[in-house]
């Protein structure tokens, strides 16, 4: 079972376990500020915060499992099998594919205050990366030095919960 945890003393720490019996070719990936992110439904982002994390790189695109940006905002995607559901593309919102969610948040948010604002206008959509890399059923923990939240995309919409302990595992849904 994967687990992500924060630890705060005088410094802020964020980490996670990635409990797989095999590797997807994951590696430490640094995405510099000037790397051009292409987002399937909202276009390109040329200027953003630098990001470092664990990812599988496919077609020169970092598919992050977990990462942190240069401002100290960190997040991880954890298995949410049987509960995760993503929407169709909608108008008047920012449609972000599930695999784009980590770089979308970390590229432009310097705090959880900004993350919450961005989440108000986001729709996580069911666009797979490719036929060979289908949708992963995930939920996310997002943290900065002050707080943590859990984000779950389910059939009844996007749910955002305060996570006062700063820990997240796989299933069950957060309120349970």
Q: What is the mean pLDDT of residues 149-159?
A: 97
Annotated catalytic, 2?
yes
Q: Which residue has the tokens 């987002």?
A: 39
In this prediction, residue 4 carries a pLDDT of 95
Tell me if 175 is assigned to some domain.
Answer: no
**Can you give the pLDDT at residue 12?**
93
Percent of the chain with pLDDT strictly greater than 90: 89
Residue 32's pLDDT band (cuts 50, 70, 90): very high
- Is residue 80 one of the residues assigned to a domain? yes
pLDDT score, position 95: 98
For 102-146, the pLDDT digits (tens) are 999 999 999 999 999 999 999 999 999 999 999 999 999 999 999
176 assigned to some structural domain: no
C-alpha dist (Å) from residue 28 to 63, 133, 171: 11, 19, 26
Among candidate residues 1, 2, 86, 98, the one labeled active-site is: 2
At 24 the pLDDT is 75
pLDDT band of 173, cuts 50, 70, 90: very high
Considering the domain boundaries, does residue 34 fall inside one?
A: yes
With respect to residue 131, please indicate whether it lies within any of the assigned structural domains. Answer: yes
Give domain status of residue 35, yes or no: yes
What is the rounded CA–CA span in Å between residue 152 and residue 138?
8
Residue 70 lies in a domain: yes
Q: What is the pLDDT of residue 148?
A: 98
**Number of Cβ atoms within 10 Å of the Cβ of 127:** 18
Other C-beta atoms closer than 10 Å to the C-beta of 46 total 10
**Spatial separation of the C-alpha atoms in residues 129 and 13, rounded to whole Å:** 30
**15-124-49-162 Cα dihedral, nearest 10 degrees:** -50
Which pLDDT tens digit goes with each residue over 55-80?
A: 999 999 999 999 999 999 999 999 99
Counted domains in the chain: 1
Residue 160's domain is classified under what CATH number? 3.60.60.10
Residue 90 has pLDDT above 80, yes or no: yes
Q: Is residue 42 part of a domain?
A: yes
Domain that holds residue 150: 3-169
DSSP 11: S
CA distance 88 to 170: 24
Which residues, at least 6 apart from 161, have a Cβ–Cβ distance to it below 8 Å? 149, 150, 151, 152, 174, 175
What is the predicted pLDDT for the residue at 164?
95
């Amino acid at each position: 079972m994967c687990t992500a945890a924060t630890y705060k003393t005088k410094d802020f720490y964020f980490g996670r376990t990635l409990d797989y019996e095999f590797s997807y070719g994951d590696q430490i990936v640094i995405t510099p500020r000037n790397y051009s992110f292409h987002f399937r439904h909202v276009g390109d982002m040329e200027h953003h915060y630098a990001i470092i994390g664990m990812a599988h790189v496919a077609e020169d695109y970092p598919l992050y499992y977990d990462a942190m940006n240069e401002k100290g905002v960190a997040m991880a995607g954890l298995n949410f099998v049987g509960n995760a559901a993503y929407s169709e593309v909608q108008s008047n919102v920012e449609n972000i594919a599930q695999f784009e969610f980590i770089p979308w948040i970390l590229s432009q948010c310097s705090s959880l205050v900004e993350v919450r604002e961005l989440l108000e206008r986001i729709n996580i959509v069911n666009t797979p990366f490719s036929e060979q890399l289908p949708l992963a059923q995930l939920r996310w923990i997002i943290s900065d030095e002050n707080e943590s939240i859990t984000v779950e995309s389910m059939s009844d919409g996007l749910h955002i919960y305060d996570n006062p302990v700063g820990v997240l595992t796989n299933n069950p849904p957060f309120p349970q």
